[in-house]
Structures are given as structure tokens and as C-alpha cells.
């Protein structure tokens, strides 16, 4: 089997490529990635010489390139996206271009070349936001209600994928997954930002009152879920994927990280809230459990510790990121108060 992975130099994509080559060593992978600020070939150092792996630097919006690459493959797993909510609030244009137009270009090429399976990696954020006291969990029938430019662009891409299935018969599947954490996550997202800031002697910026809830999943569980969808998923189906955390909020996560690193609560900095901040996410993954046999394997607290250990052991990886372009973004997002 030959797979085209888009966005394979990012956080989840690079974990997925490592996972796939380990678990399906006979398969070939082409990784198409533009290497935006979030794409990093260091994430794939371990496998860069694997003869089953090929990297192509390029944009999913480049129709000719995408068409040539898709000719060679059986399966597309589409991760490439602009993925950070805060950046979509600063400027949403590239989100529309990559997440919507880029997906449409891939879909056209997949259709033209009769790809056997197009898997679209999406997010639970398309469902909007729950109240803190709401016990509802989102499932595959929940209506879309995206609230940020990022989630609106991902919702648009999901609709396009389904439209290509309905109108042209494209064989697709979609996963809507909750918040991932683990190694190689870019240090703009809450968990790696908190860990690396504390390791640098800086504070953890917590938006608003910190009582915002996410449904955390260790990245390998997400990779395994996609694998199960590729093996057992039905064309035209969507699968919600989530974790096992029980309504844990950002403040509690920050405290867990502080404790593991032996730091005091005074290292938490309450900063201006994210505009339109979604209060709570919760995912019902029972369809994936029933139909695919999916169940998260990795519990939050042990794998948070493992993740902290990874950032401790891989300081060079994140220090390089944080010393470059990132500084400008940090200044723009958090202002002078955060830079000590
Ligand atoms: P990321 O930002 O770490 O990586 C994105 C990758 O896409 C980067 O390597 C980047 O260079 C590449 N890319 C961006 N624009 C491109 C373009 N035009 N052409 C080719 N490559 C391009 O993102 P991530 O956190 O790994 O997320 C991957 C996917 O999973 C995204 O589609 C995201 O919406 C989805 N998702 C993420 C999470 C999460 O918690 N991180 C949860 C659910 C779903
Ligand atoms: O739910 C899946 C989504 O999870 C993915 O689709 C997105 O690509 C991914 O970025 C993530 O979105 P979030 O906005 O939930 O993740 P983030 O790490 O940015 O924020 C997690 C929570 O932490 C959220 O409530 C905002 C808060 N936060 C975040 C940052 C960066 C802070 O309080 N302070 C911060 O500095």
C-alpha cells in the first residue's frame, strides 16, 4: 500500500508517520508538507533514511504537484492545516486558503486519480462549545456550530469532503478528534507552552479564569484511531475520537505540570482571555469503539509525565523553535508582560 500524508512534518502528522512505518513496515509513504512555521523535518529525523519514506516539500494548494503525487498512491491521509486558534484570530486568511481551498484541491486530485480512500483529519471544535455544567458529549449527529475562524475553516473542509462523497462518489472517511498532546507538539499550544515556559523560567499564561475544559488524548491514540478507520472504517462515515479525561480544566492542567516540575502556583499568570473562547469540549467516541474497536490506551496523568520528560530530554528541539520567528508571535500574542 502507498499512502500520501499531507502535513506530515507537523505534530500529529509526524507522530502518525512514525507510527505507520513501525506498524506497517511494508507500506510506502510520501509526506507532502509546505514546512510552514509549524512544519519541522527534525520531527522525522528517526525515519528520514527509511527507504519506504519520501519527503516532498510543497503546498497542498499547488494543484499540479498534488495531482502528480496522488497518481502514485492508494490512500490519502490529510493532516495539513493551519491549526492554531489564536493565530486564526490574529489573521484568518491563510486558514481559509490552506484548510478550505487546499482541501478542495486535494479532493479534486483524489477524485481524478480514483484514490481508494481519502481520510480527512478533522477536529471536535467544529461542534462549537458546551456550557461547563452541560453533561452532553458530542457525537457524529451533533450539528456543526464552529465559533473561531480556525474551526469554521475546518467545518467548511469537512462539508466539502462530504459533498465530494455525495456528489461524485469519492470514497472518504472523516475523524473529528479532541485535543491531542505528546512529543513534537509545537510550543504554541497549551501543554507544550506551559512545559517549555516553566523550563525557561517563565510563567504559564492562562486565559481568563482558566476554567475551560478540553477532552485530552495522547497523540498515539489518535494515530491508532486513524489506523483503525483506514482498516475497518466504512466509506462515507465519520468517527468522533476523544480521550478519557473527566472534565479537567486548564488551571488543573497547569497545576499538574507545576507539581511535576516542582514549581509553585505563583508561576501561573492569568492573562487576557481568548476572544470567543470555547468553554468546554467533550466527545462521545462510542461509535468508534463499537464499530472499530477503538479505546484510548494512554491515561492523561502518566502520559502528561511522559510528555514532560520528552520536552526535558529534547530541549534543543524546542529551544531552536522558540529562539526564531516564534519570538515575534509570542510578543504579539502575549505582549510585554509575559516576556521576562
Ligand atoms: P500542526 O500545526 O502541528 O502541523 C500542520 C502541518 O501542516 C505542518 O507540518 C505544516 O507545515 C503543514 N502545512 C500547513 N499548511 C500547509 C500547506 N498549505 N501545504 C502543505 N502542508 C501544510 O498541526 P497538528 O496539530 O499536527 O494538526 C494536524 C491536523 O489534525 C490538522 O488538520 C488539525 O486540524 C487536526 N487536529 C488537530 C488536533 C490537535 O489537538 N492538535 C486535534 C484534532 C484534529
Ligand atoms: O479540540 C481539538 C483542537 O485542539 C484542535 O483542532 C486544534 O488544532 C488544537 O490547537 C486544539 O485547540 P485548542 O484551542 O483547544 O488548543 P490550545 O492548546 O490552543 O488551547 C487549549 C486550552 O488552553 C484552551 O482553552 C485555551 C487555553 N490556553 C491556551 C494557550 C495557548 C491558555 O489558557 N493559555 C495559552 O497560552
pLDDT tens for the 340 residues of the chain, in order:
999 999 999 999 999 999 999 999 999 999 999 999 999 999 999 999 999 999 999 999 999 999 999 999 999 999 999 999 999 999 999 999 999 999 999 999 999 999 999 999 999 999 999 999 999 999 999 999 999 999 999 999 999 999 999 999 999 999 999 999 999 999 999 999 999 999 999 999 999 999 999 999 999 999 999 999 999 999 999 999 999 878 999 999 999 999 999 999 999 999 999 999 999 999 999 999 999 999 999 999 999 999 999 999 999 999 999 998 999 999 999 985 444 3
For residue 107, how far is its CA from the centre of ligand 1 (angstroms)? 17
CB contact set of 36 (below 8 Å; sequence gap of 6+): 82
What letters, b where the CB count within 10 A reaches 16 and e where it falls short, cover 51-69? eebebeebbbbeeebbbeb
Q: Distance from first CA to last CA of the chain, Å, rounded?
A: 51
Q: Is 278 a catalytic residue?
A: no
Residue 244 confidence (pLDDT)? 81
Query: Helices H, strands E: what count in the chain?
Result: 13, 11
Fold of 190-213+245-279+298-325: UDP-galactose 4-epimerase; domain 1 (3.90.25)
Assigned CATH topology for domain 2-181+216-241: Rossmann fold (3.40.50)
Task: Please state the pTM of the whole predicted model.
Answer: 0.98
Ligand 2 centre from 190 Cα, in Å? 6
Angle between helices 219-232 and 11-23 (to 10 degrees): 60
DSSP secondary structure letter of residue 173? E
CA of 333, closest atom in ligand 2: 36
Of these residues, 33, 59, 124, 278, which one is catalytic? Answer: 124
Q: Is 123 close to ligand 1, i.e. is its CB under 6 Å away?
A: yes
Residue-range domain boundaries for the chain = 2-181+216-241, 190-213+245-279+298-325
Q: How far apart are CA 217 and CA 243, in angstroms?
A: 5
What's the 182 CA to ligand 2 centre distance in angstroms? 14
Amino acid at each position: 500500500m502507498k499512502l500520501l500524508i499531507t502535513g506530515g512534518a507537523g505534530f500529529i502528522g509526524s507522530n502518525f508517520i512514525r507510527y505507520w512505518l513501525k506498524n506497517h513496515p511494508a507500506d510506502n509513504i510520501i509526506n507532502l508538507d509546505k514546512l510552514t512555521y509549524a512544519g519541522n523535518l527534525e520531527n522525522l529525523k528517526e525515519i528520514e533514511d527509511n527507504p519506504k519514506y519520501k519527503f516532498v516539500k510543497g503546498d497542498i494548494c499547488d494543484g499540479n504537484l498534488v495531482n502528480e503525487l496522488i497518481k502514485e498512491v492508494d490512500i490519502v491521509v490529510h493532516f495539513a492545516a493551519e491549526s492554531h486558534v489564536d493565530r486564526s484570530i490574529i489573521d484568518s486568511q491563510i486558514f481559509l486558503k490552506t484548510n478550505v481551498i487546499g482541501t478542495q484541491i486535494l479532493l479534486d486530485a483524489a477524485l481524478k486519480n480514483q484514490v481508494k480512500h481519502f481520510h480527512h483529519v478533522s477536529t471536535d471544535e467544529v461542534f462549537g462549545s458546551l456550557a461547563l455544567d452541560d453533561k452532553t458529549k458530542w457525537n457524529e449527529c451533533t450539528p456543526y456550530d464552529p465559533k473561531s475562524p480556525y474551526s469554521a475553516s475546518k467545518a467548511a473542509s469537512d462539508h466539502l469532503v462530504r459533498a465530494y462523497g455525495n456528489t461524485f462518489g469519492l470514497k472518504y472517511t472523516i475523524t473529528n478528534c479532541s485535543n491531542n498532546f505528546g512529543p513534537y507538539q509545537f510550543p504554541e499550544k497549551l501543554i507544550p507552552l506551559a512545559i517549555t515556559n516553566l523550563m525557561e523560567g517563565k510563567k504559564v499564561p492562562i486565559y481568563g479564569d482558566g476554567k475551560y475544559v478540553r477532552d485530552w488524548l495522547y497523540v498515539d491514540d489518535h494515530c491508532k484511531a486513524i489506523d483503525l478507520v483506514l482498516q475497518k472504517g466504512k466509506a462515507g462515515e465519520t468517527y468522533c475520537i476523544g480521550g478519557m479525561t473527566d472534565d479537567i480544566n486548564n488551571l488543573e492542567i497547569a497545576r499538574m505540570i507545576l507539581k511535576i516540575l516542582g514549581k509553585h502556583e505563583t508561576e501561573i499568570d492569568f492573562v487576557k482571555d481568548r476572544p470567543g473562547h470555547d468553554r468546554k469540549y467533550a466527545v462521545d467516541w462510542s461509535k468508534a469503539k463499537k464499530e472499530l474497536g477503538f479505546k484510548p490506551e494512554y491515561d492523561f496523568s502518566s502520559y502528561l509525565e511522559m510528555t514532560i520528560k520528552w520536552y526535558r530530554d529534547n530541549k534543543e528541539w524546542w529551544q531552536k523553535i522558540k529562539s526564531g520567528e516564534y519570538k515575534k508571535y509570542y510578543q504579539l500574542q502575549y505582549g510585554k508582560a509575559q516576556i521576562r
